[in-house]
Structure formats: structure tokens, C-alpha cells
Amino acid sequence: ANMPSLLYKKYKFSLFVACPSLRKVPHVLVVHGESGATEDHLKKVKPANWVLHKPPLPIAYGTHHSKFMLLVYHSGVRVVVHTANLIYVDWNNKTQGLWMQDFPWKDNNSCKDSFFENDLVDYLKMLKLPEFTAKLPAVGNVSINASFFRKFDYSSAMVRLIASVPGYHTGANLNKWGHMKLRSVLGNCIFDKEFCKSPLIYQFSSLGSLDEKWLSELTVSMSSGVSSDKSPLGIGKPHIIWPTVEDVRCSIEGYAAGNAIPSPQKNVEKDFLKKYWTKWKANHVGRCRAMPHIKTYTRYNGQNLAWFLLTSANLSKAAWGALQKNNSQLMIRSYELGVLFLPAYVKDLGSWFSCAGNDGTEQIAHENSSSSSKPWSLATLCLNDDASEVIQLPVPYQLPPQPYTSEDVPWSWDRRYTKKDVYGQVWPRHVQLYAKQDT
């Protein structure tokens, strides 16, 4: 494809093996979270046309955890938000999620912006990206910075961005990031009455050090929204989907899969969490043995979804933020990025724009065939309904989830497991992350 510029995060140079065409991209900006000897090594071995940038982390224990790509083509930009690190095992051996959409350049006379545009540019500004000049066939020499991405028309965006950035957020910024951003967006949405007090799913791959007070705080945000009569939906009961020790042992990677589910006993084995544990079951998509690195949050009733969030954010205060100072301040440690699917953003579904067809040229797909005036709704793939107004999302786990039995033990990566896995191995063991074969 004709990609003059590429911005993405979490790479390893084995990428050239997986994607040789990367060598042909004239400008590549890599936003990373490496430090020390690893960062020094990357600076030494990077190609000359690659720019490395480590965003500021002003609060201790924070990370740049977002996983995203911005691919600039001659005809527009492709925005990709995903959950996999750019390493072999993440893309080949695990359950992950990815969303993408293409957007055209704005017309010369266009000055319109959108929620998506503002959220994206605000997030990129917080990364403090280094500015560089690129020659783009469509527009000539341009400065690549956060504001450059205002040159594209995001009015057709099918999702809302939900991001986290480190800092102590107050005033107008209180509702701009983290779980307060989600609370704000959901609070402005009207949902079907079937979702009143309906349950919530928290599904992720790393569990922070939590307490009941903070989990309740997060649940208030996840439960935000009103029904058609303007009454609040009410607090939903959370269910935490988390692999058991047996799930990991019998997975396609064996115990090695547990290396990417990095939560210690002290976080996992808290008494108050026991009532929330539910099983990772994915028979309907054949992914029971592909351990989840995907992170999702949703509110559901049966197979119907009020909303669905695909994100890099695990269940932690560092990722989502914690309210302080009588709820007037939100403290976030890490960078995160996710996309929120809402029925309201599907109602205006029209033409699909593509940056690159098979011949590398701009493509406009056919108009959506549905002429119904009914509102759109979201559902899982298991919903037996062929109505054209239903968007079925590939939710990779069973709903409703099954609670743990008395024999189920939640996975924690710092315990010793002597029962051999499918490869005859015990835990702990050495895990090779970056090679094609785990040796």
C-alpha cells in the first residue's frame, strides 16, 4: 500500500519478518514505553527513517500501554486500535481484538470537526509527539504532529474513543479521560429499557491491586446512561471473566500463556473478588484454548448489548484512574486507548470509505442496504436474529458467563504449578516471547 507515514506503538524489530513492506514506508514514528538498556539498543538498531518517542510518564508506576496505528495513505488515514503487542505470540497464539476504520481527507472548504477528531487529537497532544516533516503526494511537504490529524474527515466514525493519560485531572478535564470519560459518554446516551440494572462484564488480562471502594466507583461509571423515559439505568452487577489455572494449563501454549496474564496472588486472591469470578468460555468461536489478551467491557441482557468497549485498559486504578479530593480529581498513571461501540453511532451508517483497494486506489463501497427506520442495536454472534438493524459483534466469550465452581482456581502467575501442562511442562518456566517458536 502507499503509506507515506506510519505511527504505532509496542514494536519489536522482528516486525520486518512479519511485515516486510514496512521497509518501504518512508516515515515511521514509533511511540514506545521502553527504557534503560532496551531503549538504548533500539536507538542503535533502528532504521534511519524511524523516529522513536517515549511519552512522558509523570506519575510513578505508569506505562504507555496503548496499542494503536495511524496509517497515512494518499487518499486518507486508517485508524487502528488493537489489544496485541507487536510480538509473534500475541498475534498468533492468543485471543485479541482489533478495530479499524478509514477516513478521507477533508475538503478544502470543510471546517467541521467531530467528537472522534477532538478526542483523537487531544490524546495525541498528550503524547508530546516530536514534530517532523514528510512529503505527501496529496499535499506536498507537511509537518507531522498531533494537529496534522485534523486534516481528515472523521464524521463517519462508528465509535467513540475512550482514552487515559497520566496526570491529576480536575475541572473540565475531570470527565475527559479514564472511567470518568466513559461515565460522561454513556451518561449522554439513551438505552433500551431491557438494560435497566442489567449486568456488566469486565474482561481483561491483568488485575491491579483493587479494593471494593474503587470497584464500586468504576461500576458507577460502567452503569451510566438512561432509558427512554430518562430514568437512570441503575447499577449493574459486574462479572469478571478470568482464566482458571486449568484453562491456562490446557491452553494451546500451556503454562506459557500465563506469562501474558501477569497478576500476582496478592491481587487475585482477595476475598471480595470471589463473588465476581466467571469463566473464560469461547466454544462458539473456537477460542477456548486461545488465552485472552483482549480487554473488553460491556453491558448486556441475554445476547443483546447496550454498548461494548474494546480497549488496552486492564482492570486497574493505573489504567482507569481513581477519584480523589472528594471526587473533584481523577488520578491516572498510564496511557490507554479504546473504542466504544454504541447503537447511536450506527444509525447513520452509509457509504464505507477505504484508503486502499486491491489496486491501491481509493474505494467507496456500496450504500448500506437497510432502508428500515428502526433504531440499530448491538448483539453477540449468538443472537438468533437476522434483522438488518442488528449489528452482531464478535464477542469472544460466552454470555451469560458461568460462575466459578468450588474447584476452580483463578490464575495467578507467581504461584507454583506442578501438574504438567499439555507440553509436559510445569510452572514457572522460561518463556520466549519474540521468536516464532516458544523454546
Cβ atoms of residues 334 and 320 within 8 Å? no
* 203: nearest Cα among 96, 315, 307: 315
Q: Is 24 flagged in the annotation as binding? A: no
Which residues are catalytically annotated? 65, 293
What span, in angstroms and rounded, lies between the C-alpha atoms of 308 and 349?
18
Which residues lie below 8 Å from residue 313, measured CB to CB, with a gap of 6+?
65, 164, 204, 295, 319, 320, 336, 338
Give the other-Cβ count within 10 Å of 62's Cβ.
21
Cβ atoms of residues 297 and 222 within 8 Å? yes
Burial (0-12, 13-18, 19+ Cβ within 10 Å), 411: buried
Number of residues in the chain: 439
Residue matched to cell numbers 431491557: 194
Give the other-Cβ count within 10 Å of 376's Cβ.
19
Q: Is 46 flagged in the annotation as binding? A: no
Which residues lie below 8 Å from residue 388, measured CB to CB, with a gap of 6+?
369, 370, 372
Q: What is the DSSP string of 185-217?
A: HHHT-EE-GGGTT--EEEE-S-B----HHHHHH
What span, in angstroms and rounded, lies between the C-alpha atoms of 62 and 49?
29
What span, in angstroms and rounded, lies between the C-alpha atoms of 377 and 194?
12
Pairing of strands 304-311, 377-380: antiparallel
Residues placed in the known binding site: 67, 295
Residues placed in the known binding site for substrate: 67, 295
